[in-house]
Amino acid sequence: MTITETKWWQTAVLYQIYPRGFQDSNGDGIGDLQGIISRLDYLQTLGITGIWLSPVYKSPNDDNGYDISDYQDIMDEFGTMADMEELLVEAEKRGIKIIMDLVVNHTSDEHAWFIEAKKGKDNDYRDYYIWRDPVDSDVPNSLGSAFSGTAWAFDEASGQYYLHLFSKKQPDLNWENEKVRQEVYDMMNFWLDKGIGGFRMDVIDLIGKIPDEEITGNGPKLHEYLKEMHTTTFGQEKYDVMTVGETWGATPEIAKLYSNPARNELSMVFQFEHSGLDEVPGKSKWDLQPLKVSALKKVFAKWQNELGHEGWNSLFWNNHDLPRIVSRWGNDKEYREKSAKMLAILLHMLKGTPYIYQGEEIGMTNTPVSDVSEIDDIESINLYEERLALGYTKEEILTSINAKGRDNARTPMQWDASDNAGFTTGTPWLHVNPNYKEINVAENLADEHSVFHTYQKLIQLRKENPLVVWGDFELLDTVDEVFAYKRLYEGKEWLVVTNFSNEEHPFSYDGNYGTILIENESTPQSLTDIPLSPWQAFVVELKK
């Protein structure tokens, strides 16, 4: 591929911060902006060059900030706009851009627009949202909420329903209303003018919804709206920013529509095809099946090859909605560190922009709970109530929540072995994983062979070798559990070999072993008939 134009976000490595759980600075048990500022040197040491900051705007926290009541002010618990501006300045000093979370499929029901809209059918803001009359004295149609139950909430005062694809307190905005779009664009320019590095766009595939036809994702006007947004906001000449859309249903074809530079829409998308592979097809995220590594290899190879030249891949295992990868698909018991390193090597040698979720870089694990009272996340709480009513046992439901619940990713960052893992001097808003005494940043920094130093090395390899950013991808034909591929660029060939299992598996490659670039255990100086130990991983440059 001839490299026409290099964008900074094509060589970047981004780090996602869930502010509530990253670092508390004032002892109230809740992470905040000053806490993030105090940890920027750590992030600079890791080597990341961008932070995706989950929402910090004013919010009643029904969905922990993804229910926004004022897009242009900071949540009291997180600090002030002055703190936000200080974060932008301090991050910039360290070569780190701040990517804000844009949540415009819906607002909070405590947003001024919705408070107005609820005043009556003739209110100027009424059709900022999606209202429908009852049908046969019932909900307008069978649209469901991602957080259990119907997507329609009844408003007594007006006798109408309003749409909420998430919680009742997250009414969907009506994107067909041009005034709504203009309000959103004005807000985006407010943030762009503050010097942010771009936006992560929450469920952006939903803004083209046609509720009356029960169309939610990939609606007919979706790309029209994105082109209008591009022209009116981040696509303006004066900005050099990145955008990443959260698009759950994207296929490579659809992803090209979003991220082909010629289309003037987004830089890239988060697609979740790999993330659904341990779920029973056609059922919910809670209904699990064992992951087949052979299926994972096919999905990654498809995205590496089909998107490569007309779009751009995002690369991730984790985020604030997903369970921690070392517990989900690695081995968080006897092979925790080794499997965490293997997962990092496998992902970070691929083509695309990698995203590291807070704590992933030190191999943090899921945090099981034994009672619903320990759960914070509305999605899990609603599921618990829904399935209890359907006759599931508490044990069955907690097993599902312990495997896939979003709190697994949201327990406080584990900084050191002091109380509350150094996250807060107060009472943490959510329990800290008891394993923080063994798994924490301080312990990782002190160990040159830690998970942290593997991530640091991977980021350095990407920075120093154009092959990692631009090289072509070639999947090798190996036994199922061995995921091996090559990256090729201007005559150079790197071979990435990983054993994605608890068992030993054979590997052999007809090539000349050259320089070892990274490994999670010492690798024989040969590629012929080598037995790969459980979770073994290495990257070697092949000699001609």
Nearer to ligand TEU, 67 or 265 (CB): 67
**Spatial distance between the Cα atoms of 156 and 165, rounded to a whole number of angstroms:** 20
- Binding region for Ca ion (CB under 5 A) out of 19-27, 121-129, 414-422, 501-509: 19-27
* Region 388-407 residues binding ligand TEU, contact defined as CB under 6 A: 406
Judged by CB under 6 A, the residue of 83, 273, 321, 337 near ligand TEU is 321
Instruction: Decide if 316 contacts 521 (C-beta within 8 A).
Output: no
* Smallest distance from Ca ion to CB 57, Å: 16
**Spatial distance between the Cα atoms of 76 and 58, rounded to a whole number of angstroms:** 7
For the chain, the maximum distance between any two Cα atoms, rounded to a whole number of angstroms, is: 76
Q: Does 166 bind ligand TEU (CB under 6 A)?
A: yes
- Binding region for Ca ion (CB under 5 A) out of 23-31, 219-227, 305-313, 470-478: 23-31
Q: Does 205 bind ligand TEU (CB under 6 A)?
A: no
* Smallest distance from ligand TEU to CB 263, Å: 23
- Binding region for Ca ion (CB under 5 A) out of 26-34, 192-200, 350-358, 376-384: 26-34
Q: What are phi and psi of 417, to 5 degrees?
A: -90, 10
Nearer to Ca ion, 23 or 243 (CB): 23
Using Cβ positions, the residue closest to Ca ion within the complex turns out to be: 32
Q: What are phi and psi of 442, to 5 degrees?
A: -60, -45
| Residues near ligand TEU (CB under 6 A), total | 14
* Smallest distance from ligand TEU to CB 66, Å: 3
Give the CA-trace dihedral at 185, 190, 193, 199, to 10 degrees: -60
Nearer to Ca ion, 17 or 143 (CB): 17
* Smallest distance from ligand TEU to CB 429, Å: 16
Nearer to ligand TEU, 357 or 470 (CB): 357
| Contact track, ligand TEU, 465-504, x by CB under 6 A | ----------------------------------------
Judged by CB under 6 A, the residue of 63, 361, 407, 481 near ligand TEU is 63
- Copy the structure tokens of residue 136: 């046969």
SS3 at position 24: coil
Q: Does 425 bind Ca ion (CB under 5 A)?
A: no
Q: Is 450 left (phi over 0), alpha (psi -120 to 50) or beta?
A: beta
Judged by CB under 5 A, the residue of 7, 8, 10, 28 near Ca ion is 28
Give the CA-trace dihedral at 96, 101, 102, 105, to 10 degrees: 160
Instruction: Decide if 245 contacts 12 (C-beta within 8 A).
Output: no
Angle (CA) 105-243-164 rounded to 5° is: 10
Instruction: Decide if 464 contacts 481 (C-beta within 8 A).
Output: no
Where would I find the H helices in 285-371? 293-307, 325-328, 336-348
- Copy the structure tokens of residue 16: 């996602």
Nearer to Ca ion, 26 or 189 (CB): 26
Instruction: Decide if 68 contacts 55 (C-beta within 8 A).
Output: yes
Is residue 124 flagged as an active site residue? Answer: no
Instruction: Decide if 206 contacts 165 (C-beta within 8 A).
Output: yes
Q: Does 409 bind ligand TEU (CB under 6 A)?
A: no
* Smallest distance from Ca ion to CB 25, Å: 6
User: How far is CA 290 from its chain centroid?
Assistant: 22
Is residue 156 flagged as an active site residue? Answer: no
User: Around Cβ 193, how many Cβ atoms within 10 Å?
Assistant: 10
- Copy the structure tokens of residue 421: 């893992």
**Spatial distance between the Cα atoms of 377 and 154, rounded to a whole number of angstroms:** 23
**Spatial distance between the Cα atoms of 359 and 436, rounded to a whole number of angstroms:** 11
Q: Does 246 bind Ca ion (CB under 5 A)?
A: no
| Contact track, ligand TEU, 252-291, x by CB under 6 A | ---------------------------------x------
Judged by CB under 6 A, the residue of 42, 154, 185, 248 near ligand TEU is 248
Could you say which of ligand TEU, Ca ion, none residue 30 binds, taking C-beta under 5 to 8 angstroms by partner kind? Ca ion
Judged by CB under 6 A, the residue of 202, 205, 273, 332 near ligand TEU is 202
Q: Is 449 left (phi over 0), alpha (psi -120 to 50) or beta?
A: alpha
List, in sequence order, every residue forming a beta bridge with 144; answer none if it has no partner.
Answer: 150
The candidate with the shortest Cα–Cα distance to 356, out of 95, 89, 46, is 46
Could you say which of Ca ion, ligand TEU, none residue 103 binds, taking C-beta under 5 to 8 angstroms by partner kind? ligand TEU
Nearer to ligand TEU, 248 or 489 (CB): 248
Q: Does 103 bind ligand TEU (CB under 6 A)?
A: yes
| Residue of 24, 32, 101, 202 marked catalytic | 202
Could you say which of Ca ion, ligand TEU, none residue 462 binds, taking C-beta under 5 to 8 angstroms by partner kind? none
* Region 31-50 residues binding Ca ion, contact defined as CB under 5 A: 32
Nearer to Ca ion, 1 or 82 (CB): 82
Judged by CB under 6 A, the residue of 146, 222, 226, 362 near ligand TEU is 146
Instruction: Decide if 360 contacts 315 (C-beta within 8 A).
Output: no
The candidate with the shortest Cα–Cα distance to 498, out of 519, 522, 513, 529, is 519
Could you say which of Ca ion, ligand TEU, none residue 321 binds, taking C-beta under 5 to 8 angstroms by partner kind? ligand TEU
Q: Where are the beta strands (DSSP E) in 123-218?
A: 131-132, 152-155, 160-163, 198-201
Q: Does 78 bind ligand TEU (CB under 6 A)?
A: no
Catalog residues that contact ligand TEU under the rule CB under 6 A: 63, 66, 103, 146, 166, 202-203, 246, 248, 285, 320-321, 379, 406
**Residues lying near Ca ion in the complex (CB under 5 A):** 24, 26, 28, 30, 32
Residues known to be catalytic = 202, 246
